[in-house]
Amino acid sequence: MAPRQEETSADQFLKLIQNPFSSSFQVNAVWASLGTSIGISVSLAILFSLFRPRHTLVYAPKVKHADNRHAPPVVGKGIFAWVKPVLHTHEDELVNTIGLDATVFLRFTTMCRNILVIMSIIGCLVMIPVNVTQQNSSEESSSSTVFTKMTPLDVKSTAIWSQVACAWAFDLIISYFLWSNYKAVRRLRRRYFESSEYQRSLHARTLMITDIPPPARSDEGLLRLTDEVNPTAALPRAAIGRNVKDLPDLIKEHDETVRELESVLARYLRRPDRLPAKRPTLRPPRKYRAQYKSDKVDAIDYLTLRIKVLEEEVKHVRASIDRRNAMPYGFASWEMIEHAHAVAFAARKKHPQGTTIRLAPRPSDLIWENLPLSKTNRRWKRFMNRIWVTLLTVVWIAPNAMIAIFLANLSNLGLVWPAFQTSLDANPVIWAAVQGIASPAVTSLVYLVLPIIFRRLSMQAGDVTKTSRERHVLHHLYAFFVFNNLIVFSLFSAAWTFVAAVVYYEKHDDNVWEALQDGHLYTKLVSALCQASPFWVTWLLQRNLGATIDLVQMVNMVRVWFAKTFLAPTPRQAIEWTAPPAFDYASYYNYFLFYTTVAFSFATLQPIVLPVTALYFGVDAVLKKYLLLYVFVTKNESGGRFWRVLFNRLIFATIFANCIIALVAKVNGSWTMVFCVIPLPFMMLLFKFYCMRTFDTDIEFYNRSNLSDAEALGAPGKSTRRAADRLSSKFGHPALYKPLITPMVHAKAADALKRIYSGRIGTADTLALGGEYSDIAMDPMSAGKPGKTEDPVVAAAAADATAPFEVVPENHLDFSYYKNRADFRDEFGGGIYGRPEDLMTERSHTPRSFMGEWSPSSSRASSPTPSLSSRQPEPGGYYDPLDARAQEFDLRTQQQQQQNHHSGPSGTGSAMYRQSSNGSETQLLRHPQELSQTQSHNSDVLAPLDRWRTGGYGPVQQEEEFISYEHYRTAR
C-alpha cells in the first residue's frame, strides 16, 4: 500500500502543478472583491477624514516642517476640508511645493487615468458587444460564464477584425498622450531650469569627470581635459577628488556603534528609578574578541570605548587626508550655468583621454564609493548584476507556483500529505485562518524585500548616483513583475500542458514535429489568457483598498505603535518617526506600470479590465496628490529624470499588447489580420525614436551652444583661488566634513546616566574640522553678536558642556527641532528646507561675480531663508516669487546705499550689510561689456583661436600673457 499511496501523491502533485493558479480563477470572487474593496475603501477614507484634523503629525507633517517655499496649501479643520486644496492646486504650484519628481509622478498617474478612460469607452462599447454577440452557437458557449463570453475565446472569425481595429485605435490613443505629456515634461524641465533654486545651485554649473587617467589627476589636468571639449571662452574652476581610504567605513561603524549604545541605554534606563540589577552585556565582534578574557563584556563600557577609539581614528585620518593620492574623478565648475551646459552638450559623445564628462548631480545624490571604479570594473559589475537579477527572476517561478498551489488552498497540501490532511480535518477553523493570512503575508513580505535586494544589487553594479540607482531598481522590478506575475502566472498551465504532451510523444517514439503541431500551442496560450482574465479583474479591484491603506498610513502607525508599546525606542528613533517619510518612487512607479501593462494586455481579451483600472487610477490620482502635498517628501530630487524610464516601459507594454492581439488573430482569425497588426510594434519604435530626438536634448540641457552675448561670458573674479577651494569643499567626500553623531538619551534618564556612563572626550575635535571640509563652508556665528563669527574656544567650550551625550527633553522629541542638523537633514530632510550644501550664498565664501547680484540683507545670521538671486525673468517666461522678493531687496538696498552716500560712512557694526556700488561687481548682467581690443581694432579679422595669448578669442579681453594653467588656479 505504501508505494501505491506514494504514487497517488505524486499523481496529485503533477495534476496540481499542471495548473497551479487555478484556485485564483474564480468568477464569483469578482463580485466579492468589488463589494469588499469599495466598502472597506470608503470606510477607511471616512476614518481618515475624521482623524486627520486631530493628528496632523501623521497626516500632514510637511505643514509643520516645510519652509515657506515648500509649504503646502492651507487646509481647514473640516472633515472633508482636505479635498478642496487637493483638487484646486495646479501643476505650476506643485513644482514649487513638492518638486519636479513628485509633479511628474502625479502627471503620469493622471495620464494613465485619461488613457484608460478613453480606452474603456471603446472597449466597453465595441469589444464587449462584439464578443458577446458574435459567439459560435454551441452548447459549450451557451453554458460558459459571463466573463468567458466577454472574451474572444469562441467568437467567429470575422469578429476578430474588431480586435485589429481596436489595436490601431489604442496605439494611436497611447501615442497621443505620450507625445503630449512628453511636451509637458519638457516644459516643466525648462521651468525647472529657470527657477531660482536651480539658478542658485552649485551642481547646475558643475560638470563631473570620471575615469580620469593617472597623468591628469590634478586640478590642472582637469582643466586640460575640459579644454578639449570646451566651446566657450570661459574657464572653469576644478577640484580633483581625494582618496579617503577607509574613512567612510570608520564613520559608518561609528554611527552604528552610537545607535547601538543608544539602544542599550534606552532599554537599561527605561525605568531610571528602578534600574535592573545586572548591567547589559554583549558579545564583541570576532575581530575584537581576542582582546577580552570572556565571551561577553559590559555593553556600555565596550561601546563607550569603541566610540572613543573610532573618533580618534577618524580624527587621525582626516588630519592626514591631504597626503593621500588623487582619485580618478573630479569636478569643474563655471561661473555661469550656460557655459557648463554648453560644455556638457559638446562632450556628450566625446571621451577625451577615455574620460566621461557629464553634468554633476547634487552632492547629496552621489554614491561616492562607486566613483573611483574603472570602466572595466564597472562593466564587469553590471554584467554580474544582470546575471543575478535574471537568476532571481527565473528562480522565483517555482516558489511562486508553490505558494499558489499550497498556501492559497491548503486542501491541495492535504492531497499530497496525508498527515496534514488529518490535522486539517481536525482543526478546520484554525487552518482556514492560516490560509487567509499565509499567502498574502508571504507574498507581501517578498515584495517588500525585493526592492531592497535590487537596490543593493544596483549599488554593487557601480551606479554613481542614488537617483540612477532608483531608476535601475524600477527597471528590475518591472521586469520581475511582468515576467513572474503576468507572463508565468497567465501562461503557466498552457506551457506545462504543451511540454508534457511533447515529452509524452517523444517517449513513445512518435514524431516530435507532429507532436508540436497536435499540441496546438497558440490555442492553449489564448485559452489560458482568457481563463486568467477574471483573476486580473479581481486583483485590480483589490488595489483600491491598497490605495486607501496608504492614505490612512496604517502600516506606519502600526509599526510605531508596536515599537512604543513593546520595545524601548531611543530618542533618535522617536525624532525620526516624526519626520516626513520619503516617497518610494521605484516601488510606486513599478506598481502603476504593472497595472497599466495588465490593462493594455487584456484590453481586448477582457475589456472590463479597462474601467476597473481606470477607477483605480482615478482614485489614486487624488489620494497620492494629498500624500505628496502633505505627507511624503522626495529624498533625492532628480528633476523629473524618471520620465524616460516610464515612457520606455509604456512603449513596451503597448508592443506586448499588440503581440497578444496578433496571437488572437492567428488562432481565431487569419494571416491577413496578423499582417495588419505587424506594423504596429515598428510604428511604436519609430515613435519612441522621434520623441527622443525631439525632446530629450531640451530636457537634459539648459542650452546647447555657446552664448553670443559678450556680457554673458563674465569676467574673472578677484577670488578665483578661494572659489576653487570652496568648490573642493562643496563636492568633497562627505566623510571629510560629516560631523560625528553624539549618543542621545532621554532627559528623564540623565541623572541615572551620569552614574553609569563615561564616554566621549568632547566635540571640539569635530568642530575644528568643520572650517576646512564643511559642505556649506560656514563658520559658526555668534549668538550675542549678529554677523560675527563665534570664537572657536567659546564654541568648543559650549560643545563640551553637553558632552559626553546629548540630553533630549520630552517636548523636543520632534523633528522640527533637528531638521537643520546634518545628521537628521541628510537622511530625512527630503529637500523641503533646501540643501545648504548645494546653495551658493555670500557666507559660503563664493565670489559675488560667481552669483550675479545678491541681496546683502541675506547675510544676517538670523535670516530664515537663503540668499536670493535678482535674476530678471524673461518676458512671458517662468515667474518665480523668490526672484520678485530679491528685486524688492535690491531696490531697498540701492536706496539705502544712496542714503549712506549722502550721510557719510557709518560704523563698522553695519558694514556687513552694505555692498559696494562698484558696477563691475553688481551690474554684471545689466550693462554690456565693451568689445575686446582685438575685435574693436579689426572687426573683420579676428585673432586666431588661441586662448593662451593676450586677447584670447571671442569678445573677452585677457589681462596678461601666460603659459601655465597655474594662472587659472591662483588669485590675480
Among candidates 619, 624, 434, 449, which has minimal Cα distance to 542?
A: 619
Q: What is the dihedral of CA 268, 274, 276, 282, to 10 degrees?
A: 10
- Alpha helix stretches (DSSP H) within 134-194: 139-142, 146-149, 160-194
Q: Which residues, listed in sequence order, are joined to residue 208 by a DSSP beta bridge? A: 331, 358
Residue 7: Cβ within 10 Å count: 10
pLDDT at 930: 38
Backbone angles phi, psi at 356, to 5 degrees: -120, 120
pLDDT at 870: 33
pLDDT at 102: 94
Give the amino acid at 100.
L
**How far, in Å, CA of 151 to CA of 155, rounded?**
8
Among candidates 260, 250, 262, which has minimal Cα distance to 310?
A: 250
**How far, in Å, CA of 930 to CA of 910, rounded?**
35
pLDDT at 285: 86
**How far, in Å, CA of 338 to CA of 703, rounded?**
6
Q: Contact, 537 vs 564, CB < 8 A?
A: no
Mean pLDDT of the chain: 76
- Output the pTM of the full model: 0.79
Residue with cell 574673472: 716
Residue with cell 487552518: 431
At 366-378, the pLDDT tens digits run 999 999 999 999 9
**How far, in Å, CA of 617 to CA of 619, rounded?**
5
**How far, in Å, CA of 172 to CA of 314, rounded?**
60
**Dihedral of CA 442/445/450/453: which sign?**
negative
Q: Contact, 203 vs 360, CB < 8 A?
A: yes
pLDDT at 553: 86
Q: Contact, 581 vs 556, CB < 8 A?
A: yes
Maximum pairwise Cα distance, the chain: 114
**How far, in Å, CA of 369 to CA of 465, rounded?**
10
**How far, in Å, CA of 286 to CA of 804, rounded?**
28
**How far, in Å, CA of 175 to CA of 657, rounded?**
14
Q: Contact, 613 vs 599, CB < 8 A?
A: yes
Backbone angles phi, psi at 21, to 5 degrees: -100, 15
Side-chain-side CA neighbours of 722 within 13 Å: the count stands at 15
pLDDT at 757: 61
Q: Contact, 661 vs 161, CB < 8 A?
A: no
**How far, in Å, CA of 406 to CA of 424, rounded?**
13
Residue 536 Cα distances to 207, 424, 936, angstroms: 47, 30, 74
Q: Contact, 730 vs 794, CB < 8 A?
A: no
**How far, in Å, CA of 559 to CA of 546, rounded?**
17
Q: Contact, 235 vs 336, CB < 8 A?
A: no
Nine-digit cell at 9? 501523491
DSSP result, 469-485: HHHHHHHHHHHHIIIII
pLDDT at 786: 55
Helix (H, G, I), strand (E, B) or coil at 607: coil
Give the gyration radius of the chain's Cα atoms.
33
DSSP result, 839-896: B--GGGT--GGGT-SB-GGGG-TT-SS---B-PPPPTTS---HHHHHHHHHHHHHHHH
**How far, in Å, CA of 680 to CA of 171, rounded?**
8
pLDDT at 865: 36
Q: Which residues, listed in sequence order, are joined to residue 633 by a DSSP beta bridge? A: 582
At 634-658, the pLDDT tens digits run 988 999 999 999 999 999 999 999 9
Q: Which residues, listed in sequence order, are joined to residue 744 by a DSSP beta bridge? A: 806
**How far, in Å, CA of 675 to CA of 470, rounded?**
39
Q: Are strands 326-333 and 206-210 parallel, antiparallel or unpaired?
A: antiparallel
At 342-393, the pLDDT tens digits run 999 999 888 999 999 999 998 889 999 999 999 999 999 999 999 999 999 9
Helix (H, G, I), strand (E, B) or coil at 101: helix
- Alpha helix stretches (DSSP H) within 602-642: 609-630
**How far, in Å, CA of 5 to CA of 278, rounded?**
58
- Alpha helix stretches (DSSP H) within 803-874: 822-828
Among candidates 633, 634, 653, which has minimal Cα distance to 642?
A: 634
Helix (H, G, I), strand (E, B) or coil at 242: strand
All residue ranges of the chain with pLDDT < 50 are: 1-6, 24-25, 139-140, 709-720, 724, 759-778, 796-802, 842-890, 892-893, 896-897, 899-972
**How far, in Å, CA of 327 to CA of 210, rounded?**
9
Give the amino acid at 962.
F
Nine-digit cell at 870? 535678482
